[in-house]
Structure 1
Amino acid sequence: MAVIEVTIVPLGTGSPSISQYVASCHKILAGEKDIKYQLTPMSTIIEGDLDKVLAIIRRMHEAPFGAGAQRVSTTIRIDDRRDKELTMDGKIQSVMAKI
């Protein structure tokens, strides 16, 4: 299982506000099974099968275009650990145990 951070930024919208575009991307996530996700102030963190999550991110990347954006910039960071199970909660607990 991978933990992926994604930031999707619509450009050319004529407005500095992007919350409606973020909401449309999260509607895509809400319809998915077998993934876990968390909205943060600056990005979205998704936990799940890497291939499945990348396919979902592709659909999320297209959502702002469908809502009128002329350009979309998407940044993806992938943490894919193979020696043990990796989860969002596990990453946080590991740090908290050391504080």
Structure 2
Amino acid sequence: MASTSAPSQDLYAVADFCLIPMGTGEPSVAEYIAECSRVLQKSGLKHQLHGYGTNLEGPWSEVVKAIHDCHAAVHAKGVPRIATDIRIGTRVDREIEPGTGNEGKVKRVQDILAKDSAA
């Protein structure tokens, strides 16, 4: 029978999340997203802001804590509601060098497209 115990170490998580401040009364939420970005910088996790969210990677518990801390910081700026969409991927079939999860995924696709161009 397979063991149902938790892994002895945190899973490495590659995440994409979009934090959506609600009830601000303003058309731009850039100031609130900047606050979340400050939190992520302090977390020490690898992250990359993009037009509709942020890529974030590291140990699962640290990734979800960082998203929690973004919520807390944005609420502290007076935002009454926040909705967040999150996608998290993990894998255990091979080792992922910390900090290269998102880059590795993008590079693999770029390598395939480069072969198309060379053909």
When normalised by structure 2's length, the TM-score is 0.78
Matched, 1:37 2:37: no
The structure that has the greater radius of gyration is: 2
When normalised by structure 1's length, the TM-score is 0.93
Unpaired segments ≥5 residues, structure 2: 1-11, 114-119
Q: Equivalent pairs: percent with the same residue?
A: 35
Superposed CA deviations along residues 67-92 of structure 1, whole A, max 9, x for unmatched, are 11111101110011111234111000
Match of 1:19 among 17, 21, 30: 30
Aligned residues: 98
Superposed CA deviations along residues 9-57 of structure 1, whole A, max 9, x for unmatched, are 1110010100000000010111122x21000010000011111110111
Which ranges of 4 or more aligned residues in structure 1 deviate by more than 2 Å?
none
Write the mapping of 1:1-99 to structure 2, written as runs, cut at 5 A. 1-33=12-44, 35-86=45-96, 87-99=101-113
| RMSD between aligned residues | 1.0
Q: Relative contact order, CA 8 A, sep 6+: which one is greater?
A: 1
